[in-house]
């Protein structure tokens, strides 16, 4: 079985695959536009953020399995892959801690204006008067949208900072999740409207689907408190870009973002994004899962998917 890695992948797990007899082609610098010319002859394609579109799938003459080394699969044409008999699998839950850590990092950065502090010091400016004003986190309320592994990891860390945590009372949650929510002292409300209205901070942790596209829209933003904080480390399409721009101007909402609509498909390039440029935004470069701890855990998950597939099991199939 020949596996093409079109994104970064830890050397340790790559060597484990090779030792198990798999042929591996490691081309981490491939871009989406390069894939059609490089996919032929491969049985498995492993990607992180690189887009896998219809053209790539059509160019594949032996492809049986696409693995998203992570959770979100919105960059892969899953429907067309299914039409061609190609299985798409992901590796969910392995990067939860890394994303949660960045989420709290963005929150702290906003509350204490850390990036602006750093910039002025580097510019040779001392401005203690400006930066001595911060509300702090203890005693405030964070509303978390999404009670998956990342949402729960954020809740755990938020409680450690003395934040009260709200989640939506959603039917059908497993007893394990309910027990975990109870142990963390998480309160629930009956709707997303109530959650955003009662929160000082709103943190979004949902997948990109048709039902979540523009979930954070003008109507919902209008219910947020003036000066509230919005955190999005999930997917850019979850937030209506223009609605958030308007809300930041009219309600002084501040935002910590790791994801954006229409993100580039390549690792380094120019990026003209009005959200990223807005003075109320502290943003990062979609790096939520980019820690060594997370990537090692995800890589172990990729190995599990490959070996299960070879033995006739489709682990974490999403199409």
Q: Which of 272, 298, 280, 270 is nearest to 99 (CA)?
A: 298
Strand partners, 232: 204, 257
How many of the other CB atoms lie within 10 Å of CB of 181? Answer: 19
Q: Is 214 exposed, middle or buried (0-12, 13-18, 19+ CB in 10 A)?
A: middle
Alpha helices (H) in 125-190, listed in sequence order? 128-131, 149-160, 175-184
Give the C-alpha separation, 165 to 153, whole Å.
12
Strand partners, 317: 89
Q: Which of 76, 11, 87 is nearest to 50 (CA)?
A: 76
Residue 263 annotated as catalytic: yes
Annotated catalytic residue within 263, 278, 304, 310: 263
Annotated catalytic residue within 112, 213, 278, 286: 286
User: Residue 66 in contact with residue 90, Cβ under 8 Å?
Assistant: no
Beta strands in the chain (DSSP E): 2-5, 23-26, 44-47, 65-68, 87-90, 141-145, 164-168, 187-189, 201-204, 229-232, 254-257, 281-283
Strand partners, 256: 231, 282
Torsion of Cα atoms, 294 then 295 then 299 then 302, to 10°: 80
User: Residue 73 in contact with residue 90, Cβ under 8 Å?
Assistant: yes
Annotated catalytic residue within 48, 140, 205, 235: 235
Residue 235 annotated as catalytic: yes
Residue 286 annotated as catalytic: yes
Give the C-alpha separation, 301 to 304, whole Å.
5
* Residues designated as active site: 235, 263, 286
């Amino acid at each position: 079985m020949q596996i093409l890695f079109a994104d970064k992948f830890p050397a340790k797990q790559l060597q484990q695959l090779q030792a198990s007899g798999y042929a591996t082609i490691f081309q981490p610098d491939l871009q989406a536009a390069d894939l059609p010319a490089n996919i032929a002859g491969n049985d498995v394609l492993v990607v992180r953020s690189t887009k896998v579109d219809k053209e790539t799938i059509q160019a594949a003459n032996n492809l049986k399995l696409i693995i998203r080394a992570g959770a979100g699969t919105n960059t892969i044409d899953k429907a067309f892959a299914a039409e061609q008999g190609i299985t798409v699998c992901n590796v969910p839950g392995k990067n939860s801690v890394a994303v949660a850590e960045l989420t709290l990092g963005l929150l702290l950065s906003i509350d204490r204006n850390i990036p602006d502090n750093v910039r002025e010091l580097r510019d040779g400016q001392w401005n203690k008067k400006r930066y001595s004003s911060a509300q702090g986190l203890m005693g405030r309320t964070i509303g978390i949208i999404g009670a998956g592994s990342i949402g729960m990891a954020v809740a755990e860390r938020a409680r450690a900072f003395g934040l009260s945590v709200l989640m939506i009372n959603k039917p059908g949650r497993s007893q394990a999740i309910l027990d975990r929510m109870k142990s963390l002292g998480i309160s629930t409300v009956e709707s997303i409207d109530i959650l955003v209205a009662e929160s000082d901070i709103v943190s979004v942790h949902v997948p990109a689907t048709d039902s979540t596209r523009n979930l954070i829209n003008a109507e919902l933003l209008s219910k947020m408190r003036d000066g509230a904080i919005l955190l999005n480390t999930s997917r850019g399409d979850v937030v209506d870009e223009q609605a958030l721009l308007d809300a930041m101007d009219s309600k002084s909402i501040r935002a910590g973002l790791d994801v954006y609509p229409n993100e580039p498909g390549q690792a380094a390039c120019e990026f003209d994004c009005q959200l990223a440029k807005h003075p109320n935004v502290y943003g990062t470069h979609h790096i939520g899962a980019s820690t060594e701890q997370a990537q090692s855990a995800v890589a172990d998950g990729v190995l599990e998917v490959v070996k299960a597939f070879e033995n006739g099991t489709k682990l974490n199939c999403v199409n």
